[in-house]
Amino acid sequence: MLYWRLSGFYLFFFSSVGLLMPYWSAYLDSLGFSAQEIGILMALAMATKIVSPNIWGWIADKTGRRIRLVRWGSFAAALGFFGVFFDTTYGWLLFVMIVFNFFWNAVLPQFEAITLSHLKDDSHRYSRIRLWGSVGFIVAVTLMGWALDVYGVSLLPAVLMVMLLGIWGVSLFVPECERKVHQEKSEPFFEILFNPAVIALFAGCFLIQSSHGPYYTFFTIYLTDIGYSGQLIGQLWALGVVAEIGIFLVMARIVGYLGLRRLLLLSMVVTAVRWVLIGLYPDHLGTLLFAQILHAASFGMYHSAAIQLIHQYFSGSNQGRGQALYSSLGFGAGSAFGSLYSGYIWTVYGAMYSYFFAAFLACLAFLVAWCFVKELDR
């Protein structure tokens, strides 16, 4: 059944995210690297998203063979990551992570385009498929949190390797979507790209993902230094994604009531509030629990609204490049900048101020989106 094949890909892909995002910085910390070194390594790895999704997006739009590119990319990513088992010096890990991320970061945007193309006019059902990625994240982050206390973080690379092979394996069973390269009339790509509303949307995506820098790069280290156990840290990460699943389940309904633009703006306001709470009250478990529930908006609501707006703007043969730009400017450039500034501010001024700066970026994203982002009727 197509639903389960698409869902299975998200399950394995975001299981690997559930291992990388919360725990890879902790693994690097265990090797003796400083916060600034970790920030630089993570930033350079994420910076591959600026280039690779656009290269693969252009090839996919020209050939229409998206799933073949996904299969090759996921296999190459697993092969590249295998290098972590040979050496743990800083320079070698930097090289391995750049190679791995070059292929791994190119896979998801094309699979998003595949999923939305299979759904056709039922794109509102995207959230029901994407929620299985959240399920995978929860299982991975929870079990790894427990394993962290029992076996230590050195187990991480082996478990992650299994998940990467799972991504490739599932992709072999996903059919190619119907080719529409020559069937659907599309606006010129650069005419869409230089639309002020599109520029504002991408700017907002960059700022929101930048604001996640202290969270994605240092949240586990932050809580470990305060004294939280690995199991509790894993549960806090999982709680955020449970909330994310909740918003995915109801997103199709609330879009009809509020519209994509309003939901995007609301998610940006909630994101700013979330970072202030984490910065001010990291030792107050109740506040942390509430802040993690806000992940429903800061990622779930934001991502669902943004990706559907991108799908509105970039139609027909432009879909692959549209999703690739969303990935490269938001998750690539935004995440890279987020890792860089958070590593610097964390080292020089402390954790609290890195979260305050993150909240400022989220507020700036809201202002840009409020002034310029519009919803299209197609």
pLDDT tens for the 378 residues of the chain, in order:
787 888 899 999 999 999 998 899 889 999 999 888 898 888 888 788 788 878 887 888 788 788 899 999 999 999 999 999 999 999 999 999 999 999 988 888 888 888 878 887 665 677 788 889 888 988 998 899 888 888 888 999 999 999 999 999 999 998 887 665 445 556 788 888 899 999 999 999 999 999 999 999 889 989 999 999 988 998 999 899 899 888 988 887 888 888 999 999 999 999 999 999 999 999 999 999 999 999 999 999 999 899 889 988 887 777 777 877 888 888 888 988 998 899 899 989 999 999 999 999 999 999 999 999 987 654
CATH match of 2-177+188-372 with 1.20.1250.20: yes
Q: Considering only CA atoms, which of 297, 160, 291 is closest in space to residue 237? A: 291
Beta-carbon contacts of residue 292 (< 8 Å; ≥ 6 apart): 236, 237, 239, 240, 243
Nearest to 178 by CA among 108, 107, 109, 113: 113
153's tokens: 């973080």
Contact 309, 197 (CB under 8 A): no
User: What does pTM read for this prediction?
Assistant: 0.79
CA distance 88 to 233: 25
Specify whether the backbone of 184 is left (phi greater than 0), alpha (psi in -120 to 50) or beta. Answer: beta
Q: Is 252 exposed, middle or buried (0-12, 13-18, 19+ CB in 10 A)?
A: middle
Distance, in Å, from the CA atom of 129 to the CA atom of 144, rounded to the nearest integer, reads 24
* Burial of 190: CB neighbours in 10 Å, binned 0-12, 13-18, 19+: exposed
- For 365, residues 6+ apart whose C-beta sits below 8 A from its C-beta are 203, 204, 205, 207, 208, 211, 268, 271
Token look-up 């504002």 returns 200
- Report whether 149 contacts 230 (CB < 8 A): yes
How far apart CA 29 and CA 38 sit, in angstroms, is: 7
Let me know if 26 is exposed, middle or buried by CB neighbors in 10 A (0-12, 13-18, 19+): buried
